[in-house]
């Protein structure tokens, strides 16, 4: 017999929410997912084009073992549900002077490629950088990324056990500054500095420790057959196969409490559902509104947003040619300072780096129209500030022609997603794609954690620990599920009601509540 204490609601079917739901359902809990949009996956949405649906969200899939372990938890295999193609080239990088560099999974292959393009000194510097960031990644994965409750003491212990990582942890040392000390070649500083943007950071202000982000990609990158949205559908299908329910187009208007204990939720159409536990998969900035808090939460620094173009188009044979692009390609700005200094001021750069995902190039170069996603970094919106986005600064096609890449795009009304549209799609995010800004030495420890101080309320997603990116969001689902299972409580059986006056902001949002 299922009792109320076995019932768990998941608000939001993003990667973190689906991961938590699968783990809880596999453990025997009665799980129901409420998703405001008409698709599972959160930011893993699609946009229609003349060549078929185009991924309009995350495109880079790394850390495959995280997915394998999640499927195994539900008694399934990843391979039986999702087809992943390993990419031989992680990314191809272009500079306007004609320089091109491919990076691959094998360190020696990368060293050889870097040496061939930039010389012997650059090759040696890369091998040192590779070794240092590998040690950094390995040292911090268990005590920080995989820990549900990381703290500065755990980081300090990891650093003391691996003294070579100490220079990467100096407070106030930015990633850009660290890379200047590691590479004499400015284009390599620019390339590896860009990895801060993978988690919404600015290399000029992000802590040097984010150099470890490179290692997540260096371990391998996969393309998902059917796109990243196909991965989200596979997770949703797996959840339903093991007994979970998924309600799409069902926004939640309020999380219901009695005192500081979860009792259920109310959907936008006014229907109330009793639950003893709720897992919230959304921007933490939205939580006070769902809890009807009377005291607004203090604004937090936001991560980067983006202008994202999704469309079908043909690559012209002249110029760089049809063979130039791989699945992931990057066209760099001439001067990284002129890109990231405006972003730090909350302005749109005039000369941005352009990331290109050629979604149909996982295995071969397609004939005719193919699907593309372009990403240009942009600042998140300021509170209550109007969105001003001069088209000349957000249109990438003319700029790509200066590299020799000629495209004939077929644009629809939905082709461009701006920070303003992201803000409307994901309430209270201000358009920030990665939640809290990762800038600052203590940013990792300032993210909300899975367990809150509201009994029965847990947080998942890219806006909470361990941070942004698909593998990290999936890991947050593990943290939340483990906390919910260990906190299995006797919930009141009375009809759920909203707390008069709301719950204090600090009580609801504190992410390092003690274990119960």
Q: Average pLDDT per run of 10 along the chain, which is 516 residues long?
A: 75 98 98 98 95 96 97 97 97 98 96 98 98 94 82 76 87 96 98 96 96 95 95 98 98 95 97 97 92 71 95 95 96 97 94 97 92 97 51 76 96 94 93 89 80 95 92 97 84 40 44 41
How far is it, in rounded angstroms, from Cα 281 to Cα 296? 20
- The position carrying tokens 């998941």 is 10
* Contact call for residues 502 and 271 (beta carbons, < 8 A): no
* Contact call for residues 433 and 445 (beta carbons, < 8 A): no
Measuring CA to CA, which residue among 362, 360, 354 is closest to residue 395? 354
Which residues have CB under 8 Å from 428's CB, separation 6+? Answer: 283, 285, 286, 289
* Contact call for residues 229 and 55 (beta carbons, < 8 A): yes
In this structure, CATH architecture of domain 4-45+228-292+442-509: 3-Layer(bba) Sandwich (3.50)
Which residues have CB under 8 Å from 435's CB, separation 6+? Answer: 200, 283, 284, 302, 303, 429, 447, 461, 462, 463, 464, 467, 468
Report the pLDDT value the prediction gives residue 344, as an integer from 0 to 100.
Answer: 94
- The position carrying tokens 């290109």 is 356
Report the pLDDT value the prediction gives residue 295, as an integer from 0 to 100.
Answer: 61
Largest Cα–Cα separation, the chain = 72
Kind and range of the H or E run holding 458: strand 457-460
Measuring CA to CA, which residue among 264, 244, 248 is closest to residue 256? 264
How far is it, in rounded angstroms, from Cα 202 to Cα 454? 33
- In the structure, how many helices (H) and strands (E) does the chain have? 18, 20
- The position carrying tokens 């973190």 is 16
Which residues have CB under 8 Å from 41's CB, separation 6+? Answer: 13, 14, 15, 18, 57, 228, 229, 231, 232, 233, 235, 236
How far is it, in rounded angstroms, from Cα 202 to Cα 341? 9
* Angle between helix 64-73 and 228-241 (nearest 10): 20
Q: Where are the domains of the chain?
A: 4-45+228-292+442-509, 87-218, 304-425
Report the pLDDT value the prediction gives residue 328, as an integer from 0 to 100.
Answer: 98
Report the pLDDT value the prediction gives residue 161, as an integer from 0 to 100.
Answer: 83
Report the pLDDT value the prediction gives residue 43, as an integer from 0 to 100.
Answer: 95
- The position carrying tokens 């309320």 is 457
Helix (H, G, I), strand (E, B) or coil at 505: helix
Q: Residue-wise over 470-481: b if at least 16 C-beta within 10 A, else e?
A: bbbbbbbbbbbb
Report the pLDDT value the prediction gives residue 384, as an integer from 0 to 100.
Answer: 38
Helix (H, G, I), strand (E, B) or coil at 318: coil
Helix (H, G, I), strand (E, B) or coil at 224: strand
Report the pLDDT value the prediction gives residue 128, as an integer from 0 to 100.
Answer: 98
**Bridge-partner residues for 274, per DSSP?**
264
Report the pLDDT value the prediction gives residue 445, as an integer from 0 to 100.
Answer: 76
């Amino acid at each position: 017999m299922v009792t109320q204490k076995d019932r768990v609601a998941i608000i939001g079917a993003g990667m973190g929410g689906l991961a938590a739901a699968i783990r809880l359902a596999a453990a025997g809990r009665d799980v129901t997912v409420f998703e405001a949009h008409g698709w599972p996956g959160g930011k893993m949405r699609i946009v229609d084009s003349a060549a078929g649906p185009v991924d309009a969200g995350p495109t880079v899939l790394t850390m495959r073992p995280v997915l394998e372990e999640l499927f195994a938890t539900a008694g399934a295999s990843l391979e039986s549900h999702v087809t992943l193609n390993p990419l031989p080239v992680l990314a191809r990088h272009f500079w306007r002077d004609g320089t091109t560099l491919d990076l691959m999974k094998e360190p020696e292959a990368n060293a050889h490629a870097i040496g061939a393009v930039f010389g012997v000194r650059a090759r040696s510097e890369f091998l040192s950088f590779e070794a240092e960031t590998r040690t950094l990644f390995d040292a911090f994965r268990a005590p920080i990324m995989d820990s549900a409750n990381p703290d500065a003491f755990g980081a300090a212990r990891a650093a003391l056990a691996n003294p070579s990582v100490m220079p990467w942890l100096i407070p106030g040392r930015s990633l850009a500054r660290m890379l200047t000390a590691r590479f004499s070649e400015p284009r390599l500083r620019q390339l590896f500095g860009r990895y801060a943007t993978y988690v919404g950071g600015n290399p000029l202000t992000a802590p040097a420790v984010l150099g470890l982000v490179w290692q997540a990609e260096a371990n391998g990158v996969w393309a998902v057959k059917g796109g990243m949205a196909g991965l989200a559908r596979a997770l949703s299908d797996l959840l339903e196969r093991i007994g979970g329910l998924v309600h799409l187009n069902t926004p939640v208007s309020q999380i219901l409490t009695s005192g500081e204990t979860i009792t259920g939720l109310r959907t936008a159409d006014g229907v109330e559902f009793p639950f003893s536990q709720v897992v919230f998969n959304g921007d933490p900035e939205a939580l006070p509104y769902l809890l009807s808090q009377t005291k607004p939460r203090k604004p937090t620094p936001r991560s980067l947003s983006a202008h994202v173009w999704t469309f079908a188009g043909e690559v012209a044979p002249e110029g760089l040619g049809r063979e130039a692009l791989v699945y992931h390609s990057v066209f760099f700005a001439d001067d990284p300072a002129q890109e990231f200094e405006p972003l730090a001021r909350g302005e749109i750069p005039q000369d941005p780096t352009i990331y290109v995902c050629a979604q149909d190039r996982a295995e071969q170069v397609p004939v005719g129209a193919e699907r593309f996603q372009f990403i240009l970094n942009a600042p998140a919106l300021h509170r209550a500030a109007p969105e001003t986005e001069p088209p000349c600064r957000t249109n990438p096609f003319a700029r790509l022609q200066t590299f020799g890449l000629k495209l004939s795009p077929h644009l629809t009304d939905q082709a461009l997603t701006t920070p303003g549209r992201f803000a409307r799609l994901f309430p209270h995010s201000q358009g920030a794609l990665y939640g809290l800004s990762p800038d600052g030495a203590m940013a990792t420890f300032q993210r909300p954690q899975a367990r809150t101080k509201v009994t029965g309320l847990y947080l998942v997603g890219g806006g909470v620990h361990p941070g942004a990116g698909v593998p990290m969001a999936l890991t947050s689902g593990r943290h939340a599920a483990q906390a919910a299972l260990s906190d299995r409580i006797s919930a009141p059986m009375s009809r759920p009601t909203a707390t008069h006056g709301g719950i204090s902001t600090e009580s609801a949002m504190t992410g390092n509540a003690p274990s119960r």
